[in-house]
Amino acid sequence: GAVVSQHPSRVICKSGTSVKIECRSLDFQATTMFWYRQFPKQSLMLMATSNEGSKATYEQGVEKDKFLINHASLTLSTLTVTSAHPEDSSFYICSAPGPTSGELFFGEGSRLTVL
Amino acid sequence: DAKTTQPTSMDCAEGRAANLPCNHSTISGNEYVYWYRQIHSQGPQYIIHGLKNNETNEMASLIITEDRKSSTLILPHATLRDTAVYYCIVRVSGGNQGGKLIFGQGTELSVKP
C-alpha cells in the first residue's frame, strides 16, 4: 500500500521552543493530509486538515496560531508546535488518502516530549 | 463526534477467530465502514472497509448487516501480534477527496496464549 512517513519519530525540547514535524507521502501525491494528536491511553483526536496550496482547516478547540500547518507541496505537510509547553507533549500522527481506493494511510507517529 | 459504538475490550485465545462488533445505527447511505487497528505507540494500520457487501482480504473479513446498522470484523486465526486497539469508523470515501476519519474509543483486543 501507499506509504506515509513522518519525521522525527521522537523529539524532546525545552519549554518555549518551537518544534516542526514533517509528514511525507512517499509514492503518491496528496492534496489533503490530516493531523491527529493522541494522549496516553486515549484515542486519536483530529486536529486539522491540511490542504495543499491553501489554509488548513482546524477542528473546534484547536489553536491555529499554536499549531501551524503548512502544505506547500503535494507530498509534504508540516506541523509546527509553537512555544511548546509540557501539556503539548503527545503523540502526533499524520495521514493521507491513498491514490486509488480511498483509505487513509498513516505515518508512524512523532512523539513530542516538552520538558 | 464518532458515530460508532464498540465494546471497550475483548479477549481472544490464540488461534481462534476474533469477532469484533460495531454498531453504527446512524450511518448514511454514502458512508463506508472502515476498520483500523493501532498497535501500541504506532500509527494506525488500515485493515478493511466496505459499503454494504461483505468483504474479505488477507487480513480479515468484514460482515455488514443488511440494514447497515452494524458490522463485525473477523480475524479468522488470531495471533499474539493481533493484540491492538481496533477502531470501527464510518466515513465518506472518495479517493483523494475522501472525508476525514473520526476515531472513537475502539476495542482493545487481547490475544492470549
Cross-chain residue pair B94–A102, CB shorter than 8 Å: yes
Asked if A32 and A51 touch (Cβ cutoff 8 Å), the reply is yes
pLDDT of residue B39: 95
For residues A12-19, give the mean pLDDT: 97
Chain A CB contacts of B96 under 8 Å are 29-32, 97, 99
Which strands sit side by side in the sheet containing B84-92, from one edge to the other?
A: B9-13, B107-112, B84-92, B31-38, B45-50
pLDDT of residue A101: 66
Residues with pLDDT less than 50, chain B:
1, 95-97
Distance CA B20, CA B107 (A): 8
Where b means 16+ CB within 10 Å and e means fewer, A86-98 reads: eebbbbbbbbbbb
Instruction: With cut-offs at 50, 70 and 90, classify the pLDDT of residue A72.
Output: confident
Q: What are phi and psi of B82, to 5 degrees?
A: -85, -5
Chain A CB contacts of B100 under 8 Å are 34, 46, 49
Asked if A23 and A4 touch (Cβ cutoff 8 Å), the reply is yes
Instruction: With cut-offs at 50, 70 and 90, classify the pLDDT of residue A53.
Output: confident
From the list A36, A43, A97, the residue facing B104 with the nearest CB is A43
Closest CA to B93 of A100, A77, A76: A100
CB proximity list for A5: less than 8 A, separation 6 or greater: A23, A24, A26, A107, A108
